[in-house]
Amino acid sequence: MQDYREFLAETLIDEATLKARVVELGAEISRDYAGQDLVLICILRGGITFMVDLMRHISLPHGMDCMAISSYGVGARASSGNVRVTYDLQTNIADRNVLLVEDIVDSGHTISHVLEMLQTRSPRSLKVCALLDKAERREVEVPIHYRGFVIPNAYVFGYGLDIDEYYRNLPFIGVVNLEKYKPEG
């Protein structure tokens, strides 16, 4: 695999800025759900880094669970309306306050589908916390109750977000220079 420095166009959000925003979001969520039950739901795999950091800044007792979905139909880097659950929650969310934690909302199809599906399970409330919002790319309107950053229309990686399943470990959000990135094989 390439060293990310070979294709890093720019660091969009550095580690300190990410940390500071996660602390703010955690404080906001802690205030809003004070005295209430809360369960965080991570959408694997991109949301995991963010959720693990975020939960340590939520000062309330809360549960957490994960689910995985796959979207297919429009190429590897775009998501479509076809979204399928590949790993379901192990938690019954009926009558619970659910906060979905996502890495990025792009077209909006993923979140829109997940919200629709989870709504059928009768949560008490259902909200969305997304670290990144690529607002210009939205194809379906979705509510984002907690938003880390609005970002421009560029392919980004790091802090949970991958390029072909690698580079999720990087502690910052970078923009890929697609001319310099060489996929394996």
Nearer to ligand IMP among residue 32 and residue 65 (C-beta):
65
Q: How far is the CB of 44 from Mg ion (least distance, A)?
A: 8
Q: How far is the CB of 37 from Mg ion (least distance, A)?
A: 25
Q: What number of other Cβ atoms are within 10 A of residue 181's Cβ?
A: 18
Nearer to Mg ion among residue 8 and residue 131 (C-beta):
131
| Euclidean distance between CA atoms 45 and 42, whole angstroms | 8
Kindly identify the residues of this chain, within the stretch 91-130, that bind Mg ion according to CB under 5 A: 103
| Euclidean distance between CA atoms 64 and 58, whole angstroms | 12
Residue number of the CB atom closest to Mg ion: 46
Residues in contact with ligand IMP by CB under 6 A are 46, 79, 102-110, 155-157, 161-162
Output DSSP code: residue 180: T
Q: Are 89 and 59 in contact (CB under 8 A)?
A: no
Binding range to Mg ion, per CB under 5 A, among 16-24, 42-50, 87-95, 115-123: 42-50
Q: Are 99 and 29 in contact (CB under 8 A)?
A: yes
Question: Which sequence positions are flagged as catalytic?
Answer: 106
Q: How is 3-71 classified by DSSP, letter by letter? A: -GGGTEEEEEE-HHHHHHHHHHHHHHHHHHTTTS--EEEEEETTTHHHHHHHHTT--S--EEEEEEEEE
Kindly identify the residues of this chain, within the stretch 149-178, that bind Mg ion according to CB under 5 A: none
Q: How far is the CB of 51 from ligand IMP (least distance, A)?
A: 13
Q: Which of 46, 108, 123, 158 contacts Mg ion by CB under 5 A?
A: 46
Residue 32 touches which of Mg ion, ligand IMP, none (CB < 5 to 8 A by kind)?
none
Q: How far is the CB of 35 from Mg ion (least distance, A)?
A: 31
| Euclidean distance between CA atoms 173 and 12, whole angstroms | 6
Binding site for Mg ion (CB under 5 A): 46, 103
